[in-house]
Amino acid sequence: MKRLLRVFKWIAIVLLVLFIGIQFYRPARTNPAIDPAQTIEAHTQMTPDVASILDRSCRDCHSNKTVWPWYTQVAPVSWWLVSHVNDGRHDLNISEWGKLPRDRQERKLRQMCDEVEDGMMPLSSYLPMHPAAHLSDQDKKTLCDWTAQQREQLNASR
Protein backbone atom coordinates (compact mmCIF):
# COMPACT_ATOMS: atom_id res chain seq x y z
CA MET A 1 0.00 0.00 0.00
CA LYS A 2 2.86 2.41 0.84
CA ARG A 3 4.46 1.68 -2.51
CA LEU A 4 1.21 2.52 -4.33
CA LEU A 5 0.97 5.81 -2.43
CA ARG A 6 4.55 6.66 -3.39
CA VAL A 7 3.78 5.96 -7.06
CA PHE A 8 0.71 8.20 -6.92
CA LYS A 9 2.72 10.91 -5.18
CA TRP A 10 5.36 10.86 -7.95
CA ILE A 11 2.72 10.84 -10.66
CA ALA A 12 1.07 13.86 -9.01
CA ILE A 13 4.41 15.68 -8.78
CA VAL A 14 5.22 14.98 -12.44
CA LEU A 15 1.75 16.14 -13.53
CA LEU A 16 2.06 19.31 -11.44
CA VAL A 17 5.47 20.10 -12.93
CA LEU A 18 4.10 19.52 -16.43
CA PHE A 19 1.08 21.72 -15.73
CA ILE A 20 3.30 24.51 -14.45
CA GLY A 21 5.68 24.06 -17.38
CA ILE A 22 2.98 24.40 -20.04
CA GLN A 23 1.93 27.74 -18.54
CA PHE A 24 5.05 29.27 -20.09
CA TYR A 25 3.79 28.65 -23.63
CA ARG A 26 1.18 31.33 -24.22
CA PRO A 27 -0.46 31.83 -27.57
CA ALA A 28 -1.23 35.44 -28.47
CA ARG A 29 -4.66 36.57 -27.32
CA THR A 30 -5.10 39.38 -29.80
CA ASN A 31 -7.66 42.00 -30.62
CA PRO A 32 -6.43 43.58 -33.84
CA ALA A 33 -7.18 47.24 -34.44
CA ILE A 34 -10.62 47.95 -35.84
CA ASP A 35 -11.28 50.30 -38.72
CA PRO A 36 -14.83 51.51 -37.98
CA ALA A 37 -15.42 52.00 -41.72
CA GLN A 38 -14.95 48.25 -42.32
CA THR A 39 -17.32 46.90 -39.65
CA ILE A 40 -20.62 45.19 -40.38
CA GLU A 41 -22.38 48.09 -38.69
CA ALA A 42 -20.87 50.53 -41.19
CA HIS A 43 -21.92 48.45 -44.20
CA THR A 44 -25.43 47.39 -43.23
CA GLN A 45 -28.59 48.91 -41.86
CA MET A 46 -28.53 47.29 -38.46
CA THR A 47 -31.30 47.59 -35.92
CA PRO A 48 -30.45 47.88 -32.22
CA ASP A 49 -31.94 44.40 -31.67
CA VAL A 50 -29.62 42.84 -34.24
CA ALA A 51 -26.64 44.77 -32.88
CA SER A 52 -27.44 43.43 -29.42
CA ILE A 53 -27.71 39.83 -30.68
CA LEU A 54 -24.40 40.05 -32.54
CA ASP A 55 -22.71 41.68 -29.57
CA ARG A 56 -23.75 39.11 -26.97
CA SER A 57 -23.72 35.96 -29.10
CA CYS A 58 -21.15 36.44 -31.88
CA ARG A 59 -18.61 39.11 -30.92
CA ASP A 60 -16.20 36.99 -28.87
CA CYS A 61 -15.38 34.60 -31.71
CA HIS A 62 -16.30 36.54 -34.84
CA SER A 63 -14.86 40.02 -34.31
CA ASN A 64 -11.77 41.86 -33.18
CA LYS A 65 -13.56 42.76 -29.93
CA THR A 66 -13.02 39.46 -28.14
CA VAL A 67 -13.42 39.60 -24.38
CA TRP A 68 -10.75 37.29 -23.00
CA PRO A 69 -11.94 35.88 -19.63
CA TRP A 70 -9.57 34.80 -16.86
CA TYR A 71 -9.56 31.15 -17.91
CA THR A 72 -7.95 32.08 -21.22
CA GLN A 73 -4.78 32.59 -19.14
CA VAL A 74 -4.58 28.91 -18.19
CA ALA A 75 -3.00 26.33 -20.51
CA PRO A 76 -4.13 24.10 -22.11
CA VAL A 77 -7.53 25.83 -22.15
CA SER A 78 -5.88 28.96 -23.52
CA TRP A 79 -4.48 27.04 -26.48
CA TRP A 80 -7.90 25.70 -27.42
CA LEU A 81 -9.70 29.04 -27.00
CA VAL A 82 -7.15 31.11 -28.93
CA SER A 83 -7.29 28.58 -31.76
CA HIS A 84 -11.08 28.63 -31.64
CA VAL A 85 -11.24 32.45 -31.82
CA ASN A 86 -8.71 32.54 -34.65
CA ASP A 87 -10.78 29.98 -36.58
CA GLY A 88 -13.96 31.96 -35.91
CA ARG A 89 -12.40 35.18 -37.13
CA HIS A 90 -11.06 33.41 -40.21
CA ASP A 91 -14.53 32.07 -41.04
CA LEU A 92 -16.35 35.36 -40.38
CA ASN A 93 -14.99 38.57 -38.89
CA ILE A 94 -17.72 41.18 -38.52
CA SER A 95 -15.04 43.76 -37.68
CA GLU A 96 -13.70 43.36 -41.23
CA TRP A 97 -17.01 42.95 -43.08
CA GLY A 98 -16.27 45.72 -45.57
CA LYS A 99 -13.23 43.83 -46.88
CA LEU A 100 -15.44 41.00 -48.16
CA PRO A 101 -16.65 41.03 -51.77
CA ARG A 102 -20.42 41.57 -52.07
CA ASP A 103 -21.11 37.99 -53.18
CA ARG A 104 -19.28 36.68 -50.12
CA GLN A 105 -21.20 39.09 -47.88
CA GLU A 106 -24.41 37.69 -49.32
CA ARG A 107 -23.29 34.11 -48.65
CA LYS A 108 -22.21 34.98 -45.11
CA LEU A 109 -25.57 36.60 -44.39
CA ARG A 110 -27.33 33.44 -45.56
CA GLN A 111 -24.91 31.30 -43.54
CA MET A 112 -25.58 33.35 -40.39
CA CYS A 113 -29.27 32.59 -40.59
CA ASP A 114 -28.80 28.94 -41.51
CA GLU A 115 -26.38 28.28 -38.67
CA VAL A 116 -28.48 29.92 -35.95
CA GLU A 117 -31.64 28.20 -37.20
CA ASP A 118 -29.85 24.83 -37.20
CA GLY A 119 -28.54 25.46 -33.66
CA MET A 120 -24.93 25.35 -34.85
CA MET A 121 -24.24 28.88 -33.59
CA PRO A 122 -23.44 29.90 -31.02
CA LEU A 123 -21.49 26.75 -30.31
CA SER A 124 -22.82 24.53 -27.56
CA SER A 125 -19.35 24.51 -25.97
CA TYR A 126 -19.53 28.33 -25.64
CA LEU A 127 -22.93 28.55 -23.99
CA PRO A 128 -22.22 27.08 -20.52
CA MET A 129 -19.74 29.86 -19.69
CA HIS A 130 -21.75 32.49 -21.62
CA PRO A 131 -25.45 31.78 -20.98
CA ALA A 132 -26.48 35.25 -22.21
CA ALA A 133 -25.30 34.20 -25.69
CA HIS A 134 -28.18 31.71 -25.97
CA LEU A 135 -30.49 32.68 -28.83
CA SER A 136 -34.22 32.52 -28.28
CA ASP A 137 -36.56 31.67 -31.14
CA GLN A 138 -37.34 35.39 -31.38
CA ASP A 139 -33.62 36.24 -31.56
CA LYS A 140 -33.21 33.74 -34.39
CA LYS A 141 -36.19 35.18 -36.25
CA THR A 142 -34.92 38.74 -35.75
CA LEU A 143 -31.47 37.81 -37.05
CA CYS A 144 -32.81 35.83 -40.01
CA ASP A 145 -35.27 38.56 -40.99
CA TRP A 146 -32.44 41.07 -40.89
CA THR A 147 -30.07 38.89 -42.93
CA ALA A 148 -32.78 38.37 -45.57
CA GLN A 149 -33.36 42.13 -45.76
CA GLN A 150 -29.64 42.82 -46.08
CA ARG A 151 -29.27 40.19 -48.82
CA GLU A 152 -32.10 41.82 -50.75
CA GLN A 153 -30.37 45.21 -50.44
CA LEU A 154 -27.07 43.73 -51.62
CA ASN A 155 -28.74 42.16 -54.64
CA ALA A 156 -30.66 45.35 -55.46
CA SER A 157 -27.48 47.45 -55.41
CA ARG A 158 -25.70 45.33 -58.01
pLDDT, average across residues 133-148: 97
**31 near 65, Cβ under 8 Å?**
yes
- Boundaries of domain holding 110: 2-156
Query: What's the pLDDT tens digit per position in 88-130?
Result: 999 999 999 999 999 999 999 999 999 999 999 999 999 998 9
Q: Based on the structure, what is the number of domains in the chain?
A: 1
**43 near 98, Cβ under 8 Å?**
yes
Query: What's the pLDDT tens digit per position in 41-57?
Result: 999 999 999 999 999 99
The vertex-36 CA angle with 147 and 52, nearest 5°, equals 45
Which band of pLDDT confidence, cut at 50, 70 and 90, is reported for residue 158?
low
Full-model pTM: 0.86
Burial classification of residue 135, based on how many CB atoms lie within 10 Å of its CB (0-12 exposed, 13-18 middle, 19 or more buried): buried
Q: Hey, what amino acid is at 61? A: C
Q: How far apart are CA 91 and CA 106, in angstroms?
A: 14
Q: How close are the terminal C-alpha atoms of the chain, in Å?
A: 78
